[in-house]
Structure 1
Amino acid sequence: MPLSTELPSGQLQLSRPADRSDKPHLPVRGDLAHIGLAGKYFVPHYAVPMAHGVKADTALRAAGKPEGQELRAIAAGEVFDVLDIAGGWAWGQAKTDQLVGYVEFSQLEAVK
């Protein structure tokens, strides 16, 4: 009896390269994605965003390090949805324009 190559209905399958057309605003990394993208992007982990307020004017960076490229200024009071925290940096998405990047975690406080 030959093996079937068809997947049961509703299961993920790779049919083409991932759509990265709006990458600056797409909260997906190789290891993690926003929970809202589950079923659309295949990664090992999905995260529920944790809203944080920016304590003082700072920078949204492309990499989690002081010399990372500055994507834009992020103002005190803005909301930043944190998806991951590592090495003193938070990776996530700015609420105002949905831009994805890194903010120093010490510049954030949880929104209640």
Structure 2
Amino acid sequence: MSDSGTYGLPEGIIGLTGPITKPAPGTLPLRGDLAHVALANRFLAAHYVIPETREIGPGGAQFLLQPNDDSEQGEALEPGAQVEVLDVAGDWIWACAGPEGPSGYFRTAALAA
């Protein structure tokens, strides 16, 4: 069974407040179109996602920096690790270990049944 964690909607005004340093790929769960809801007070994105918590299956998984099998690899995910799913597109999942990362892509088959 999966749940949505304990994240709520941000409070106060959300908007551009000054320059930021763009985080490195594979770190914070932040893309141009989506970001983890916990980052809403720090980073501007078109949409914010309250993640769904899921478990990595018995084969483990490897975060990739892009949804492509030939992409640069990020952090390894051990079997049974909890991840926060932010987006599913076809056979690919964009997820993170938590709002401070790491983040990346892996195939849907890596999730526990």
Structure 1 residue corresponding to 2:96, chosen from 93, 97, 100: 93
Residue matched to 2:34? 32
Structure 2 portions without partners, runs of 5+: 1-11
Residue 71 of structure 1: aligned partner: 74
Counterpart amino acid of residue 29 in structure 1: R
Bigger relative contact order, structure 1 or 2 (CA pairs below 8 A, ≥6 apart)? 2
- RMSD across aligned positions (CA): 2.3
TM-score (norm 2): 0.74
Higher gyration radius (CA)? 1
Which whole-Å CA distance do the structure 1 matches of 2:60 and 2:15 have between them? 43
Of 19-28 and 34-43, the range deviating more from structure 2: 19-28
Distance 1:29 1:91 in 2: 10
TM-score of the aligned structures, taking structure 1 as reference length:
0.74
Q: Unaligned 5+ residue runs, structure 1?
A: 1-9
Compared CA separation, residues 68 and 23, structure 1 to 2 (3 A)? closer
Residues 73, 16 of structure 1: alpha-carbon distance in 2 compared, 3 angstrom cutoff: same
Corresponding residue for 2:87? Answer: 84
